[in-house]
Amino acid sequence: MPQQLANFKAEFFKALAHPIRIRMLDCLRAGEKGVNELSEILQIEPANVSQQLAILRVRNIVIGRKSGSNVYYSVSDPALFRLLDTAKEIFNNHLVGVRDMLEQM
């Protein structure tokens, strides 16, 4: 694997490496949302939402669309949802393995 691709992947996963950012992305599955709407859904302060969105924006994971004084965010590539779904599947498989191990004890 070329170094540039490895660096891109590492930076991409660093941007995803926060529970609030993962929750935000899941909220954006249904379509674009503004900071206040995300703040209400996630029950976190708008300033924190903006800070986390900025990290995702720098990595081009989300994009913003300005409408008047509001900015509405959406995921730049819907393939991201397949990645999140795969991570959930891996997590579920891990839980099944742990449950089976506990049952054997």
Q: What is the pLDDT of residues 29-86, one digit of tens each?
A: 999 999 999 999 999 999 999 999 999 999 999 999 999 999 999 999 999 999 999 9
- The domains of the chain are located at 3-76
- Convert the pLDDT of each residue in 40-55 to its tens digit: 999 999 999 999 999 9
d(CA 40, CA 89): 28
> Are 74 and 12 contacting, i.e. CB atoms less than 8 angstroms apart?
no
pTM over 0.85: no
Contacts of 25 (CB under 8 A, 6+ apart): 16, 56, 61, 62, 75, 80, 81, 84
C-alpha span between 91 and 95 (Å, rounded): 6
Q: Cα dihedral sign for 16, 20, 26, 27?
A: negative
In CATH terms, is domain 3-76 a member of 3.20.20.370? Answer: no
